[in-house]
Structure 1
Amino acid sequence: MSQIKSPCIKICRQDSNGVCFGCQRTTEEIGNWSLYNDDEKKEVLKKARNRSNAPDTSSGVFFR
């Protein structure tokens, strides 16, 4: 069983690039989290730490 817990902090809103404001994961990463092994989860967490959110370019609003 995986020792790495989901980084979800229950702020489940995405920016215009499909990146969650709460955990900084992409929609694909969130959906596949339970399928990833620990090494894959570590890689996702590493990528998420380096992401920043973008506003919706069509409306200027940060939430979809």
Structure 2
Amino acid sequence: MEDIQSPCISICRQDSNGVCFGCRRTTEEIGNWSLYTNPEKEAVIKKAADRRNAPDTETGTFFR
């Protein structure tokens, strides 16, 4: 079975909670991605899909 690819879309900027505006993964999830099993990656993708971003740490604006 092939590994699930990273959901990164190259919009690598974090909100004030440390959640990426592009893929909506946390810093920890991004850093550990290569260590996760496919079921763990699926769980991260599902959690990320349910997240909403907080304001941008630099500008205080929302991207999505």
TM-score range, shorter chain: 0.7 to 0.9
- Could you state the TM-score of these two structures normalised by the residue count of structure 1? 0.85
Identical counterparts, % of pairs: 73
55 and 46 in structure 1: CA distance in 2 versus 1, 3 angstrom threshold: same
- Could you state the TM-score of these two structures normalised by the residue count of structure 2? 0.85
Moved over 2 A (4+): 56-63
- Root-mean-square deviation over aligned CA pairs: 2.2
**Cα offset for 1:19?**
0.2
1:1-64 → structure 2 map (5 Å cutoff): 2-56=2-56, 60-62=60-62
Which protein, 1 or 2, shows the higher relative CO under an 8 Å CA cutoff with sep ≥ 6?
1
Query: Could you list the runs of 5+ residues in structure 1 that have no partner in the other structure?
Result: none
**Alpha-carbon distance in structure 2 between the residues aligned to 1:2 and 1:34:** 13
**Alpha-carbon distance in structure 1 between the residues aligned to 2:14 and 2:34:** 20
8 A contact 2:55–2:62 mirrored in 1: yes
Aligned residues between the structures: 63
Query: Could you list the runs of 5+ residues in structure 2 that have no partner in the other structure?
Result: none
